[in-house]
Structure 1
């Protein structure tokens, strides 16, 4: 069985190099680790890019210009074969925070001069010693909130700079027992199977709680994105996230599938592009009813314990989802600042 140490070493070297690269040298640094046709997916307003120069121009150079002394603080690091292509490709996954001193504007967000944490989850496909695909999810609204520029009404969950796993064992630099990762993937797939089994009916909280109890520990923690927030225990998860989500976004709900789903050790996760297409029937996140279906690009990362899921970190490209409904959050913020 492969231990993925070669792929992990490449991604760790890339992570170290991009943080240490002087501003203006991001493109050359990225090119050392990526293929010439590197396909990069980023959240709104970055979207899809090809090649080191394009990714540096749209993401890394502006970020490092704004966040001085940038450092990566990972909480989860794993590698595995992708279930979605028959376990053929190898992906290395990292999740945590990018931290820096927020000294210059970024995406129209006013700087604070203080430590600022950018939640991220990054999936890197490695082939022949190069990164050939990347999905880079980051929680931009969380940065807005830290800077005192909250774009959303009050959340149903708690807004936090989120901690890593309770067990502190998410950084799997070394090879892991394959059987543990297989059990984690089985737990994730059992949960996904239950999600697809029950019809998405409104106000069916008791039935949904029973479904969750089969695959989740009762003291589960759901670390949701800024705009929704974090919840704790099955009962509060349903009350503070799942029920509002299902009741407002039930119409026209479509699951589009995942592009990558991997696990190693007691951790695993997936992303899609887009995972879901949903129509807002009104009220969700303080929004009026949407004019039509809109896409949700989502990352889920999980910690497994004794055959059930214990923690879940969520990234949703809410800025893209809202933009598809006619609300340009970043544009509105920039306009308000210009008017002021």
Structure 2
């Protein structure tokens, strides 16, 4: 089962989109996207229902801020979506959008220096058109690059995040179907173990069922990345579970795999009540939404790397803390 047609649509789209300037961006998007296009992006962009709205509201301002932008992809794959019975085909891209931060964006002050916006994008392709997109991006990481630190000290470390250790994440060619099946099975086994955090095992024992011991969890700014099962349990998974109660079931819109790579996204993935302590924030009796993309690399029968995108701005805003407005208003004068 190959996905060359769908992959080529997205590759051609990126080539034209990345060359376009100003109003040309909307023309490119209208050429590649369906009339009933649905785009989901992190706060403050949220859902948009036309290519024109995405071009004018997201891409044009971003490109005006990050000038001479380059798309630096680390992972690219495609597959059938398990969540609709393997009917639809999606193409996934992950990496950084790099440019010179020359004008403010969302109130974040420019630096005049190189800046990197982590992104991951799922594109549904039907009959040669992109009909649906989930594009998630790490705005808090861009804020920290501009000297605006929006969160208390994180439990793990956040640096510029590399692609796969194996340097083989760009799956432009067809992959053996059995490899994608095995990767999806590994992801599903991990999700099954995760459940509602009630498997009954010690945390490190639970994690060892699905993860290789030298795993790397590449978390977003505000949480950070962590290495090995033992440190992941201490630096993220344990504190995260301790900070939430009444976690809902997982709710994915898309889940797929190709070769040794796979991933999913939800809108939201799950909800939970923040009982206190997550990211140094006070408790709330409100239910918060976690919009998440997870991308995985499998090695052997288990998972070895995981890149995570969480809409922390949306999550905290839902609990009454507007991180973006608060921190950009307090940013140093330019």
Structure-1-length-normalised TM-score? 0.96
SS of the aligned residue for 2:67 comes to strand
**2:229 corresponds to 1:234:** yes
How far did 1:329 drift? 1.1
SS in 2 for 1:161: coil
> Does residue 277 of structure 2 align to residue 283 of structure 1?
yes
Per the TM alignment, residue 158 of structure 1 is displaced from its structure 2 partner at its CA by 0.3
Distance 1:292-1:20 versus aligned 2 partners, 3 A rule:
same
User: Are 1:54 and 2:53 an aligned pair?
Assistant: yes
Hey, what does 1:268 align to over in structure 2? 262
Aligned length: 334
CA positional deviation for 1:331: 1.1
Consecutive aligned runs of 4 or more in structure 1 exceeding 3 Å deviation? 337-340
Partner of residue 28, structure 1: 27
Where do residues 1-340 of structure 1 align in structure 2 (5 Å cutoff)? 1=1, 3-196=2-195, 199=198, 207-249=202-244, 251-337=245-331
CA gap of 1:289–1:339, structure 2 versus 1, over 3 A, is farther
Task: Tell me the alpha carbon deviations over residues 102-130 of structure 1, each in whole angstroms, 9 at most, x when there is no partner.
Answer: 00000110001111010001000000000
The CA RMSD over aligned residues, in Å, is: 1.5
* Structure 1 portions without partners, runs of 5+: none
Q: Deviations over 1:179-216 (max 9, x none)?
A: 1100100111111111127517xxx8x61211111111
- Cα separation, 1, equivalents of 2:104 and 2:320: 24
**Following TM superposition, by how much is the alpha carbon of 1:159 offset from its aligned partner in structure 2, in angstroms?**
1.0
For residues 82-140 of structure 1, give each alpha carbon's deviation from its aligned partner in whole angstroms, at most 9, with x where no partner exists: 00000000000001101100000001100011110100010000000000000000000
Deviation at 1:339, TM superposition (A): 8.9
Equivalent-residue separation in structure 1 for 2:332 and 2:305 (angstroms) = 41
2: CA distance, partners of 1:260 / 1:317: 17
Q: Structure 2: which 5+ residue stretches go unaligned?
A: none
- C-alpha displacement at 1:24, in angstroms? 2.7
TM normalised by structure 2 equals 0.97
1:338 and 1:302, CA in 2 relative to 1: closer, same or farther beyond 3 A?
A: closer
Distance 2:320 2:196 in 1: 33
